[in-house]
Structure 1
Amino acid sequence: MGEDDAALRASGRGLSDPWADSVGVRPRTTERHIAVHKRLVLAFAVSIVALLAVTMLAVLLSLRFDECGASAAMPGTDGGLGGFPERDSNSSFPGSARRNHHAGGESSQRESGEVGTPGTPSAQPPSEEEREQWQPWTQLRLSGHLKPLHYNLMLTAFMENFTFSGEVNVEIACRNATRYVVLHASRVAVEKVQVAEDRAFGAVPVAGFFLYPQTQVLVVVLNRTLDAQRHYNLKIIYNALIENELLGFFRSSYVIHGERRFLGVTQFSPTHARKAFPCFDEPIYKATFKISIKHQATYLSLSNMPVETSVFEEDGWVTDHFSQTPLMSTYYLAWAICNFTYRETTTKSGVVVSIFSLMMLWMMYTL
């Protein structure tokens, strides 16, 4: 055996060590592969079950948090405004004065008696009427507590940069007592809001105001309740763009002798007057309108009614004051700022007819 071992080592085929001889190599069989695959599938299934359990737990916690948040948002015994987070006395609405959290005369607890605390078994879910009283600005239609009687609208148009500023004074009649003045407004930047009664009572303090884009309304929150069967005056100062679309107060253009010129016109039907000035923009709310438009002297202004007076200023601006309209809805109101020419005549019955045309302006240039 010694000579054989030496021959094997000489030929490069060494014998294995004794410990290696004792190790048996298991053959790779199909049964072994199946066992390994079963273990992998089992581990994957366990991980999926764990993930589902964690997801269900997260969903349950989220629902629980939502319930707690909804209970906290409902008006309770603290007198806060429903739907608004509680703040300290120095908090304010965006762009407005300090806010008063007291719910005033519109608290459902004072109207309907004692109600259980939200979150307890004795608490009743709020009705649609109660929700409307808490947050009337969330409704698609205006509440009907206020009715407009007359609008006094003053506009200043800047055609060089397509902007305009406005001041609207609305005489309103209060049908039902309320702390909120809600009217339509869209794409306008409100700078100031004032509410006043008559000379005997003076101004009504405003707690704050904000725009609610979801229903396209402006909400004015008052420090006291407006009394029913009384008249009030709402004053709003704002500014906006002369839009580049065919809605609201928009601009258009034309070219004459290679020069592009612009004009501003309105399209309020059916509910786009709110894009030009804050108003009660529903057909049921009819009122009278008196409009004044300030513009550059190179333009002229038109509206539903004839011009009463025109005031020329030294800086090259003109203010046209139009006659008061009859009782009508907001979508009937219209105005235009342009530099067209016109021809005017009077019929046999005394009706003045004016025709404004770009063609006449073109003929004047060609002649």
Structure 2
Amino acid sequence: MRRITPFALAALLCAFTTVSHAAPAYAPPPTAADKSWKLPPVPMPQDNVSTPSRIELGQALFFDPRMSGNGAMSCASCHNPSLGWSDGLKTAVGWGGQVLGRATPTVVNTAFNTQFMWDGRKKSLEDQALGPMKTPQEMNTDFAAALARLRGVPGYVAMFDKAYPGEGIREETIAKAIAAFERTVVVNDSAFDRWLAGDRKAMTMEQWRGYKVFVDEAKGNCVACHSAPNFTDNGFHNIGVAKGDGDADPGRYAIRKVASMKGAFKTPSLRDIEMTAPYFRDGSATTLHDVVEHYVTGGVDHTNLSGSMKPLTLSAREKDELVAFMKALTGERKPLNVPHLPQ
């Protein structure tokens, strides 16, 4: 057996101490103020309280391409669960392959929203569910034909009868069912959520410091728009995204004729943000670091810029910490089986 000299033993102890000091540290426990970020139970309208049969029906409709005008597109074509319930594209691709002007928003945590679509033209999940179907540039659904088709499918007739007894197969029940399914697409088990629940090891110190940058009004001040508990104020802001040639998208102004709404778009939730690149309503930011740099510079197009948009002074380390925190908002990947569609 080889004898360890005192010098070698000292070297080993030094190396062990170095490794120990480099071991990851974990976040301090959350304060009472931090717990304002804890998500409440999923809200539901009284006339559409979720049940297993309603969720099952909504999931089938969500994945069924027969709901589109050409029988080739479903809600899941743009809201793909494997791509963060978005599509991974800069802007959406709609009917006939046409490239649309806005990015596809994620379905994640839309259950907590009070405004829907980039311009807020829909006021409920039920109303939103039919929006893409009724838009010629998106799914281009002929609802008279779609309803006739569904009523001719015995499996769907039975599912509607079970989910909405006596209400029949109508636009309203289609909207209700899809909304019931979308209310199940919830992220509330991220590292940040687990930390809020008391698991100090859920977030690293880097992520916690990024959280502090996020909420600090003198630093990131991200909470000015991405507020608790769902990381959105459900408001509309012009954040100075660069305009492309011929881009005249008025944003919220098309719905509400107030000067401050020109070029303003809805604040998206940041939950599962790591999964939904590229970012912004035009997909112009490729990575989360690009997003941070956009806010550090105070935006690109300063025309009608929101009062909340001001250049930030962040060190390289603080930028990295901010990105690390946003990645701590990613939920656990849950298996989802694509349903067998009714026949």
Higher helix share: 2
Higher strand share: 1
Interval of TM-score (by shorter of Structure 1 and Structure 2): under 0.3
Structure having greater relative contact order (Cα 8 Å, sep ≥ 6): 2
